[in-house]
Amino acid sequence: MKICSNTARLTYKCLPTLAKHVDLQHLLPLFLLLTMSSIGFTGDSVIPLLSGFDRERVAATYPPTNGKTLGELAKLLYRLRSIDPAKLQSMATQGAIEPEIGASLAMSVGDATPLTGTIKSMQLVPIPTELIEFLEFKRLHVLTLQRADNQEIKVITFPLPDSAKVGDRLEGAGIALQVKQSPDNASPTASAILCNRLRWLPKSSPIQGWQLLRGEGVDISLLADLGTRDRQKLLVEDGDAFYSIMAAASDLEQSKKDAPLPSKIAPVTLLQGSSELSGQWIRMDLETVLITRISVTEPRRQVELGSDHYYQIDAVGDLGNVVVQIERPAGDIGPPAIFNNRYPVSVVTRSLPIFLERQIQQQEGGDAVISELKTKIQMDGFFFRLWSYETDFMAQHGGGDQFGPLVIAAVIRNKQADTIDPTGVNLIGSAAACAVILGIFSIWAWQRRTDSRDRAVRNRKKEKEAESLRIP
């Protein structure tokens, strides 16, 4: 306690001034949380990447003794948000793996620092009100983590998902805010760090799919926000979750682990309550319409996915007796778009099962990029979210964008009977078929925004669009 006495004394002296800036009920526990703990490792300095901050300004943010320093801490977190978490992680570990000749391994404020630990305590702290509009967030999460060596460290970051709790595991990297001498006179260690994002690995979860993905190392915090983007086009923010879940789903199948039985679900269920279903382990019976191989050209995504391509299967699912109506946008007069019997569902997978590869080979010949293929399948996988895309059908009949479920497959089974239906794609219905086929071009557009798209594939898709839209 003697080590912390000066800090604690300064804290209490500043309380009357602090009351003018933020709610003491929330900030006082923050000060009590931020006076102990540590991690002993050093990476590269992050300070050159933090516009407007030097080492002295970073050090002055911690511990926050009044509204001004709390605001500085919030501003520093805002600056840190612009740094790719993968780059920060690389900087945190590079110093230990390949230390520069003559470089000191002593920890300094502003150094990149790796973090792995279990949550011991957690508290949300509001930032000064006048900064909320500029910084675009309202609160900080202040955590105490216990590392494997039983040492504790204070961590400040953006709010974790509401489901996060004591006992859950966190992994990531941040920058050292405070450094102290080790009790055994070893190298100085970080007693507090600031992180822009942490991988959340819950100890337990009521959602079966989350538990499966957590076992494959997926950052579950990425799933918690997916539902907030329901019925939107695929965004850059979806990228980390999209690729990590696809890699985990494929690894789950290849490892032949005894996964629990998934919940059998119909498209209409996903349309009704999708914001609460992201990450759910589900089973769906579908009929394929179009299969496309999509190139992944960004090296980081290739490593993350374990492949330089993946497949999108555009399919339809049975609505039963339900009729889906998509209303026109406000102010647009006319009847809604109506879907009977079938509804579009998009499936992505790192690799195709052998039976689909053979059918594509027989039908298209060679290494086809795009294949119109009608066959019945059963899929086990993880629901991603509802995504939206433009279609001619919606423009003509309902206005606005088409939206539908996007699912990441782990297992795809052949459910096609031996006899072939001579009527082909016609039975799908023109509305569902057109919506499905045009959906592929929207996910392609998203892929093109997030990494450099293969120009040849793009041209093939444009050619295919003209052919596919002739389906009656």
Confidence label for 424 from pLDDT (cuts 50, 70 and 90): very low
| Residues paired with residue 382 on neighbouring β-strands, in sequence order | 281, 408
Predicted local confidence at residue 102, as pLDDT: 42
Would the pLDDT of 459 be above 50? Answer: no
Predicted local confidence at residue 446, as pLDDT: 58
Predicted local confidence at residue 449, as pLDDT: 58
Range in 115-129, 144-158, 257-271, 444-458 with the lowest mean pLDDT: 444-458
Predicted local confidence at residue 184, as pLDDT: 67
Would the pLDDT of 235 be above 80? Answer: yes
- Proportion of the chain in helix, strand, coil states, percent, rounded to 5: 40, 30, 35
Phi, psi torsion values for 248, nearest 5 degrees: -65, -40
Neighbours of 469 (CB within 10 A): 15
The rounded mean pLDDT for the chain is 80
Predicted local confidence at residue 472, as pLDDT: 18
Question: What does the DSSP 8-state code read for residue 161?
Answer: P
Encoded tokens for 456: 């040849």
Would the pLDDT of 329 be above 70? Answer: yes
Average pLDDT value for residue range 87-102 = 69
Predicted local confidence at residue 388, as pLDDT: 87
Cα distance between residue 127 and residue 390, in whole Å: 40
Range in 134-148, 340-354, 359-373, 417-431 with the lowest mean pLDDT: 417-431
Task: Please tell me which residue, 453 or 77, carries the higher pLDDT value.
Answer: 77
Average pLDDT value for residue range 77-100 = 82
Task: Please tell me which residue, 205 or 451, carries the higher pLDDT value.
Answer: 205
Average pLDDT value for residue range 247-267 = 90
Would the pLDDT of 293 be above 90? Answer: yes
Predicted local confidence at residue 13, as pLDDT: 36
Range in 53-67, 146-160, 409-423 with the lowest mean pLDDT: 409-423
Task: Please tell me which residue, 302 or 328, carries the higher pLDDT value.
Answer: 302
Query: Which of these, 133, 18, 7, lies nearest to 68 by C-alpha position?
Result: 18
| Residues paired with residue 281 on neighbouring β-strands, in sequence order | 382
Confidence label for 87 from pLDDT (cuts 50, 70 and 90): very high
Q: Which domains does the chain have, with CATH numbers?
A: 2-201 (2.40.50.140), 208-468 (no CATH)
Encoded tokens for 132: 């909320």
Predicted local confidence at residue 253, as pLDDT: 84
Lookup result for tokens 């539908």: 404
| 133-168 residue pLDDT tens | 999 999 999 999 999 889 899 999 999 998 899 999
Confidence label for 401 from pLDDT (cuts 50, 70 and 90): confident
Would the pLDDT of 26 be above 60? Answer: no
Average pLDDT value for residue range 427-435 = 48
